[in-house]
Amino acid sequence: MKFLVRRFLHSVFLLMGVSLLSFSLLQLTPGSFFDEMQLNPQISRATVSRLRAEYGMDRPMLQRYVCWLESAARGDWGLSFAYNAPVAPLIWARARNTLLLTGLALPLAWIIALPIGVLSAGERYRWIDRGGNLVASVLLVTPELLLALGLLWLALRTRWFPAGGMASVVPIKHGAAAHIKDLVQHLFAPVTVLVLGSLPVLLRHIRSAMVDALQTPYIKAARSHGIPYLRILFRHALLAASSPLLSLAGLSLASLLSVSLLVEVIMNWPGLGPLLLEAILARDVYVVVGAVMLSGLFLVCATAVSDVLLFIADPRIRTEDLA
């Protein structure tokens, strides 16, 4: 338990640090949301400065940070200037869609990568290894930007699947099944880009972890006992290789979130990406801080989950904890 408690405290400190970092960056910001209003002759100087005071933009940074912490503790996460509403519900509505994308892409990528990676470590330099390596290399040098644009092009040309967006107009009377079918169709393109984008890294790590595990004496012993090779690969070696892979699982969410940001903007997916971009362009700073904090929170949660799994899977960590 000590291991888990330590990890938890560490992540709380990390999040506090991230918020401090973003507020010290905030200090540097030139201009604010209200600058554009000053250009409008119909809005008087007094109104603009009253608005600034109302949103607390005239107070010193430290005071604003404390205010923001209070509001974060309340569950508001600050106030959005553009929407004139608390940030948290605003972000949460979008983050759900981002989570839908990444939450689908993460297991899918692992389901595809695991068997290929394990088999290519087991059958080194055979066709599956070479083929997997070739695919991984091609995907590695193709930026996700191009993949997304390419899929969009395909969608527009062939109309096999919808190009962008999250929903098309489906009359309510068609029922839930029609809506789900529509959603799945819209999910296809962005999820494909995310899966293809994360495959090469996963494949390489799985392969190298498995190669390490296969060279251990106990695997050789298991082979000499005559256990079927596939069983050795998936039952024995994969379990032995699991601890670096479990920490990779947490980390792979980080790259997925990054790519998802870009893919959402290109494919008009109503997730965090478009919201963050709009907020940056409009100088809606608390939305930016909120979105960045949320991404940090996601990562911390993902690492925590992978830590717990590691704790369950790897007896070495558990015994270390008892000592």
Partner 1 sequence: MRLLSKKSLLLMSLVAIHVPILFSGLFAPYDVAEQNRDFSFVPPSRIHFTDAHRTLHLRPSVCSLENSGFGQYHENRDRCFPIHFLIMGSPYLLFGVFKSNLHLFGVEAPAKIFLMGTDLYGRDVFSRFLYGGQLSLLTGILATALSLGFGVLFGTLAGYYGGWPDAVIMRIAELFLALPWLYLLFAVRAFLPLNLNAAAAFCLLVSVIGIVGWARPARLVRGIALSSRERHYVLAARLFGGSDSYLIRRHVLPDAYAVIITQAVLLIPQYVLAEVTLSFLGLGVGEPTPSWGNMLSTLQQYQVLVSYWWLAIPGAVLVPVFCSYLLLASELQPRRTAIDA
Q: Contact region for partner 1 (CB under 8 A) — 12-20, 61-69, 175-183, 221-229?
A: 12-20
Count of all residues that appear for the chain in the document: 323
Instruction: Check: CB of residue 279 under 8 Å from CB of residue 222.
Output: no
Alpha-carbon span 265 to 98, nearest angstrom:
11
Sign of CA dihedral 303, 208, 262, 176: negative
Name which of 292 and 313 has its Cβ closer to partner 1. 292
Query: How far is C-alpha 73 from the chain's CA centre?
Result: 24
Alpha-carbon span 23 to 68, nearest angstrom:
10
**Nearest distance, CB of residue 106 and partner 1, angstroms:** 13
Q: Contact region for partner 1 (CB under 8 A) — 74-82, 145-153, 175-183, 306-314?
A: 145-153
By CB under 8 A, residue 139 contacts partner 1: no
Instruction: Check: CB of residue 246 under 8 Å from CB of residue 306.
Output: yes
- Contacting partner 1 within 72-101 (CB under 8 A): none
Name which of 191 and 288 has its Cβ closer to partner 1. 288
**Nearest distance, CB of residue 180 and partner 1, angstroms:** 26
On the CB side of 170, how many CA atoms lie within 13 Å of its CA? 16
Alpha-carbon span 248 to 106, nearest angstrom:
12
Instruction: Check: CB of residue 139 under 8 Å from CB of residue 197.
Output: yes
Phi-psi region at 84: left, alpha or beta (left = phi > 0; alpha = psi -120 to 50): left
Q: Residue 268 gets which letter from DSSP?
A: T
By CB under 8 A, residue 108 contacts partner 1: no
Alpha-carbon span 165 to 183, nearest angstrom:
10
Residue 220-259 contact track with partner 1, rule CB under 8 A, x = bound: ----------------------------------xx-xxx
Q: Contact region for partner 1 (CB under 8 A) — 23-31, 46-54, 111-119, 175-183?
A: 23-31
Residue 183-222 contact track with partner 1, rule CB under 8 A, x = bound: -------------------------x--x-----------
Residue of 1, 73, 281, 322 that binds partner 1 (CB under 8 A)? 281
**Nearest distance, CB of residue 111 and partner 1, angstroms:** 22
Tokens 């604010």 -> residue: 32
By CB under 8 A, residue 265 contacts partner 1: yes
By CB under 8 A, residue 151 contacts partner 1: no
By CB under 8 A, residue 170 contacts partner 1: no
Calculate ∠ Cα 162-167-173, nearest 5°: 115
By CB under 8 A, residue 156 contacts partner 1: yes
Instruction: Check: CB of residue 22 under 8 Å from CB of residue 289.
Output: yes
Alpha-carbon span 34 to 115, nearest angstrom:
54
Instruction: Check: CB of residue 244 under 8 Å from CB of residue 252.
Output: no
- Contacting partner 1 within 24-83 (CB under 8 A): 25-26, 28-31
The separation between the first and the last C-alpha atoms of the chain, rounded to the nearest angstrom, is 12
Residue of 78, 117, 162, 296 that binds partner 1 (CB under 8 A)? 296
Residue of 67, 145, 240, 317 that binds partner 1 (CB under 8 A)? 145
- How many residues lie near partner 1 (CB under 8 A)? 51
Residue of 21, 53, 66, 221 that binds partner 1 (CB under 8 A)? 21
- Which residues make up the interface to partner 1 (CB under 8 A)? 14-15, 17-18, 21-22, 25-26, 28-31, 140-143, 145-146, 149, 152-153, 156-157, 163, 208, 211, 254-255, 257-259, 261-262, 265-266, 276-277, 279-281, 283, 285, 288-289, 291-292, 295-296, 298-300
